[in-house]
């Protein structure tokens, strides 16, 4: 593992329904660092995270982009279904002395499917990826429950994405081996997105991937 | 950043919030890239002002979305979602 140039953000006490930063969160941050030159090159101004949880990933990407492109103004947007997660994200920004992100309580990108067409430079999603028999019934379950394939949320999101991303936009996604990476890539390519693996790692019982998608040529 | 903003909507929203001492043009001035006065206003609107409590209103349907603690709730109600 390479030395991190950006410190891991600090976060406060979290409500039990908010996802506590874990290996997948840190793997995502490592992936961003390994993608630093790509991210810098696209000079992003609109960054969106779906499912902000504790807010650490949004905080981290903000710090990274600020250090890479110090003279660029950019906005971090974040969405989440859980109001406790949104509140936690505001708090995380304050604890790390950052400008607060623009947060909206909603499902995926639903309210923005028209307005944000072609505008998103970086999209980030650490979804509920655990394969579960049933749909989630509450905020706690929504942190991890992804339905039988673990891909309920991802499969709902992917079809609209190629129109949402800016021409050089990048979508970063966390996935489990059991989500079936090649299936995800195939599904994405049907929706005009080209996927690749940025980083992968065994974390305890799980084998995790950080995937990236760009618009197909 | 200004190129990604629908300026007339921003101006209208800003006017509704009644910020004192801020001259907000209705339209993006044609010389906006070099207009220091305008750029200062735009900077304030984009970075310094935040609606903490209020509502967003859809201009087409009139549907209101409540903003609490800076966060709008844009979840669809059950009757608004196609089954």
* Smallest Cα distance from B31 to chain A, Å: 20
**CA–CA min distance B79, chain A (Å):** 15
Q: Does A105 touch chain B (CB under 8 A)?
A: yes
CB pairs under 8 A between A and B: 39
CA distance, residue A87 to nearest chain B CA (Å)? 8
Backbone angles phi, psi at B9, to 5 degrees: -70, -40
CB A92 within 8 A of CB A9: yes
- Digit-by-digit pLDDT tens for chain A (217 residues) are 445 689 999 999 999 999 999 999 999 999 999 999 999 999 999 999 999 999 999 999 999 999 999 988 899 999 999 999 999 999 999 999 999 999 999 999 999 999 999 999 999 999 999 999 998 999 999 999 999 999 999 999 999 999 999 999 999 999 999 999 999 999 999 999 999 999 999 998 899 999 999 999 7
The DSSP string of A128-141 is: --B--SS---SHHH
Chain B, residues 10-49, CB within 8 A of chain A, namely 46-47
Phi-psi region of A169 (alpha: psi -120 to 50; beta: other; left: phi over 0): beta
Q: ipTM of this predicted complex?
A: 0.87
How many Cα atoms are found within 13 Å in the side-chain-facing hemisphere of A168? 9
Residue B19, both tokens: 């910020």
Domain boundaries along the sequence of chain B: 1-49, 51-83
């Amino acid at each position: 593992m390479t030395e991190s140039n950006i410190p891991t953000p600090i976060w406060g006490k979290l409500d039990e329904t908010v996802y506590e930063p874990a290996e997948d969160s840190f793997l995502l941050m490592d992936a961003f660092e390994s993608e630093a030159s790509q991210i810098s090159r696209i000079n992003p101004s609109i960054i969106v995270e779906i499912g902000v949880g504790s807010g650490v990933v949004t905080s981290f990407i903000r710090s990274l982009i600020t250090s890479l492109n110090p003279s660029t103004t950019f906005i971090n947007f974040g969405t989440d279904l859980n109001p406790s997660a949104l509140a936690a994200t505001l708090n995380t920004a304050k604890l790390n002395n950052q400008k607060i992100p623009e947060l909206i309580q909603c499902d995926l990108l639903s309210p923005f499917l028209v307005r944000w067409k072609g505008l998103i430079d970086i999209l980030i999603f650490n979804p509920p990826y655990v394969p579960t028999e049933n749909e989630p019934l509450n905020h706690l379950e929504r942190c991890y429950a992804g339905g039988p394939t673990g891909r309920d949320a991802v499969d709902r999101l992917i079809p609209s994405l190629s129109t949402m991303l800016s021409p050089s936009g990048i979508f970063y996604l966390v996935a489990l081996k059991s989500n079936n990476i090649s299936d995800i890539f195939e599904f994405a390519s049907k929706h005009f997105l080209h996927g690749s693996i940025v980083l992968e790692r065994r974390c305890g019982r799980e084998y995790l991937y950080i995937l990236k998608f760009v618009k197909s040529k | 950043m200004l190129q990604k903003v629908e300026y007339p909507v921003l101006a209208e929203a800003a006017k509704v919030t009644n910020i004192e001492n801020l001259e907000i043009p209705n339209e993006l001035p044609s010389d906006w890239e070099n207009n220091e006065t305008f750029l200062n206003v735009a900077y304030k609107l984009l970075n310094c002002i935040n609606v903490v409590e209020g509502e967003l209103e859809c201009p087409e349907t009139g549907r209101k979305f409540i903003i609490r603690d800076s966060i709008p709730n844009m979840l669809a109600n059950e009757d608004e979602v196609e089954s």
